[in-house]
Amino acid sequence: MPEAEPREYSGFPVSGKPAKARAVMDWTKTISAKAGGAHIGAADLTADLARRYAPDLLLLALYGLAFAALHWAAHPWGGGGFFSLWYPAAGLRFAALWRRGLAITPWLMATELCVDAMTGALPLTGSGVIHDSISIMRPALAYAAAIAIARSMAGRLSGHRGESGSEPVTAAPMRLGIAALLAPVLNALMFVPLELALPPTAGPSAIRVQLVVSLTGLALGDLLGIIVLAPPLLSLARFYRSAERRALTMPGWRLLVPGAVILGASMWLTVALWRAGLGAQPTPLLLAGAWIGLRHGRTAAWFTILAVVALFLPYSAGPLGDGERLNLHLSLAAVAIVTWLSGCYADTQKIAEDMLARRNRLLFQAERLKTLRAMSVAVIHEISQPLSTLAIEAGHLKSRTADLDADIAQSAALVDRKAHTLSELVRRLRRFGGRSVDEPSPLPLCMLLQSSVQMVAPELRSAQCQLVLAPVPPDLTVHAQEIELSQALVNLLRNAITAAADRTVRMSTQMRGDDAVIRITNAVSARSAPPSASGAGMGIGVIIARTIVEAHGGMLVRDDEPGFVHMVVSLPLHSPRSGTET
Partner 1 sequence: MTIQSPHAAPPPAMVAVLDDDEDLACTIARLLIRHGFAAQAFFDTATVSAALDRQVFGCLVSDIQLGTTDGFAFAESLRSRVPSLALVFMTAWPTTTHAVDAVRRHGGLDYLEKPIDTDRLVSAVSEGLNWSERERRILTLTALFTRREREVFDLLVRGHSNKEIAERLAISARTVEDHRAAIVAKTQTNGLAQLIALSRGEGTPPLPR
| Chain residues in the site for partner 1 (CB under 8 A) | 381-382, 384-389, 391-393, 395-396, 422-423, 426-427, 430, 434-435, 437-439, 441, 581-582
As to burial, measured by CB atoms within 10 angstroms (0-12 exposed, 13-18 middle, 19+ buried), residue 252 is exposed
* Sign, CA torsion 426/432/438/439: positive
Judged by CB, which is closer to partner 1: 132, or 416? Answer: 416
As measured in angstroms, the least distance from the Cβ of 456 to partner 1 is: 25
Indicate the residue among 354 and 382 with the shorter CB distance to partner 1.
Answer: 382
Minimum Å gap between C-beta 478 and partner 1 is 17
Distance of CA 249 to the CA centre of its chain: 20
For partner 1, give the closer residue by CB, 21 or 391.
391
Buried/exposed 488-525: b ≥16 CB within 10 Å, e otherwise: bbbbbbbbbbbbbeeeebbbbbeeeeebbbbbbbbbbe
Compare residues 427 and 512 and give the one whose CB is closer to partner 1.
427
Torsions phi, psi of 505, nearest 5? -120, 135
Give the Cα separation of 126 and 243 in Å (integer). Answer: 51
* Shortest CB 463 distance to partner 1, Å: 33
387 vs 501, beta carbon nearer partner 1 = 387
Is the C-alpha dihedral spanning 307, 312, 317, 318 positive or negative? Answer: positive
Residue 485 CB, shortest distance to partner 1, in Å, is 16
Q: 475 to each of 98, 445, 478, 510, 520, how far by Cα in Å?
A: 49, 8, 10, 11, 20
| Min separation Cβ 549 and partner 1, Å | 23
CB of 384 to partner 1, least distance (A): 5
Q: How far is the CB of 512 from partner 1 (least distance, A)?
A: 30
Residue 479 sits at φ, ψ, to 5 deg, of -100, 105
CA distance 329 to 264: 20
Q: Residue 438 or residue 502: which is nearer to partner 1 going by CB?
A: 438
Shorter beta-carbon distance to partner 1: residue 370 or 381? 381
Tell me, what amino acid is at 478?
A: V
Whole-number minimum distance, CB 580 to partner 1, in Å?
9
Report the alpha-carbon distance of residue 170 to residue 198 in Å, rounded.
42
Output 30 or 389, the one with its CB closest to partner 1: 389
